[in-house]
Amino acid sequence: MTAKQIVEKLAAFPNRGVATANEIPVLDYLSSLFPEQEVSRESFKTPKTYISIVWWLIGGLFAGLLTLNFSPIAGLFITLIFVTLAMLYFNWYASPVTGFPPLVTSYNLVVKPKSKATSKPKKLILMAHWDTAPISVLYRPEMIGNFRKSLKMSLFLMIVAQFIAISQFLVPNNFIMMIGNVLAFYFLLQGVVGTVDYFRLGYSNGASDNATGVAAAVATAEKLWAKNLDYLDVELVLTGAEEVGMIGARAYMKKHYTEFNKETYLINFDTLGSGNLKIITQTGSWSNIVYDNQLIQIAKQTVAAQPALKNVTTGAWHTADFDSVWFQRAGIPAVTLAALDAHGRMPNIHRPTDVLANVDFLPMEKAVILAEKIGEQLNIS
C-alpha cells in the first residue's frame, strides 16, 4: 500500500482520538500493514485529551488564588503546586499532572523485523503519532501566529500569581489580593476560550496531523527494511496520546531506554500535508530547544546533494512540541521532519479544515526520500 493510500484510509475515519470508538479499528488497520514484521501493541495510561490537564491546572490556580482570601498559607501551598505543574507541562517536561484522573488506556504500535540471531550496532527509530487533536480556537489562522506569545504571557502571569501568593502570606494586602482575584478569573476565562471548541466540535480529522506523518514513517520503514542493512536496526513506533502532551512517546522511551544501542537515533514525522518540508532545528515554548546533532548534519548534507530536495530547509516550531522532545533531552540524536508554510505555520492543524481535501502530498513524499537517505547514511558512516 502506498503512503498516499495510507493517508486516505486513515482520513476515512472521522477522527483518531485516544480512547474513542475509532482507536482500536485504527490500530487494527495499522497492524494489518505488517504481515511480515513483528508487531507489538504496548499499553500506557494517559488523560483522554489535554482538556482535562488544562482544567486541572486552571482549577488549581483558580482555587489557590481564591483560597488566599481566607487562608494565605493554604492558598500559597495550592498555588505553588499548580504553578509548578503548569510550568513543567507547558515547557514540555514530564509533569505529574498528566497522571491526574480521569485516565484511560491508549497504545503505541511497535513494529520491527522478526527476531534475528545477531543484533546490529546501530538503531534507528522511525516515529509518528497516530492520534488526532481536539479542535481548538487557539489554532484559528488569525490566532496561531501569536500562540507562543500567548503561552509565554500565560506562564508569566502564573509566576505573577505565585508572587501574589507569597506576598499575601508574608504581608497581607487588600490591593494585592484584589489583583489575585482578578487573575483567578482571568485564568478561568482562558480555560473556557481554550477548550470551548472541543466541546462544540470534538476532534479534528487529522488528515495532515498526523496521517501524513504515519504514512511517511511506514513508507520509510518498509524501504529500509527491504535493503537488509548490515549495521542498522530499523524500528517503527506509532505513538498514541501525542496530542495530550507527547505521552505515548515518553511511555515508549521509559519502557525501552535501557534496551537502546549506544548508537540510537530517532527520526520523527509530524504533519506533512501542507507547506514546505522542514528539518526542525528549534522547538520549545518558553525557552528554545535546539536540535544540533549528527542526524541534523546528515539531513542537511542529504538535502544539498539531492536535487529532489532542493527546496527543503531548516525550520522552527514553537507551538507546542513534538514526540522527539524526550529523546533530544535524553541526549539521543533526534530530528523531526514537518511541513511549514511561508509564515512558519502548519495550516489547518487542530481545526475542522484538517481534512483529506486540503492535503498536499509533496512534503510527505520528500520526507520519505530524506529519511531513507538518512538511514542509508547511518548504515555506512
For residue 8, what is the domain's CATH number? 3.40.630.10
| 212/70 same-domain check | no
3 state DSSP class of 127: strand
| 37/146 same-domain check | no
| 130/77 same-domain check | no
Residue type present at position 178:
M
Residue 194: how many CB atoms within 10 A of its CB? Answer: 20
The answer to whether the beta carbons of residues 98 and 32 sit under 8 Å apart is: no
Last residue of a domain, one of 150, 172, 201: 201
Got the DSSP string for 218-268? HHHHHHHHHTT-SSEEEEEEEES-HHHHSHHHHHHHHHHGGGS-SEEEEEE
| 197/213 same-domain check | no
| 342/372 same-domain check | yes
State the maximum Cα–Cα separation within the chain, in Å, rounded to a whole number. 73
| 244/285 same-domain check | yes
3 state DSSP class of 160: helix
Range of the domain at 125: 3-47+104-135+203-380
pLDDT at 143: 78
The answer to whether the beta carbons of residues 290 and 318 sit under 8 Å apart is: no
Instruction: Give the pLDDT of the chain (381 residues) as one tens digit per residue.
Output: 899 999 999 999 999 999 999 999 999 999 999 999 999 999 999 999 999 999 999 999 999 999 999 999 999 999 999 999 999 999 999 999 999 999 999 999 999 998 765 678 999 999 999 999 999 998 988 778 788 888 899 999 999 999 999 999 999 999 999 999 999 999 999 999 989 999 999 999 999 999 999 999 999 999 999 999 999 999 999 999 999 999 999 999 999 999 998 899 999 999 999 999 999 999 998 889 999 999 999 999 999 999 999 899 999 999 889 999 999 999 999 999 999 999 999 999 999 999 999 999 999 999 999 999 999 999 997
| 56/87 same-domain check | yes
| 9/92 same-domain check | no
Instruction: For Cα atoms 327, 364, 243, give the angle at the middle one, nearest 5 degrees.
Output: 45
Last residue of a domain, one of 185, 201, 217: 201
pTM of the model: 0.96
- Give the count of domains, the chain: 2
| 35/151 same-domain check | no
| 167/209 same-domain check | no
pLDDT at 355: 98
Got the DSSP string for 4-52? HHHHHHHHTSS---TTSTTHHHHHHHHHHT-TTEEEEEEEEEEESSHHH
pLDDT at 142: 78
What are the cell numbers at 38?
A: 513483528
Nearest to 264 by CA among 120, 364, 136: 120
| 283/173 same-domain check | no
Last residue of a domain, one of 157, 183, 201: 201
Distance between CA atoms of 237 and 252, rounded to whole angstroms? Answer: 8
| 379 CB-contact burial (10 Å; exposed 0-12 / middle 13-18 / buried 19+) | middle
| 215/319 same-domain check | yes
pLDDT at 116: 66
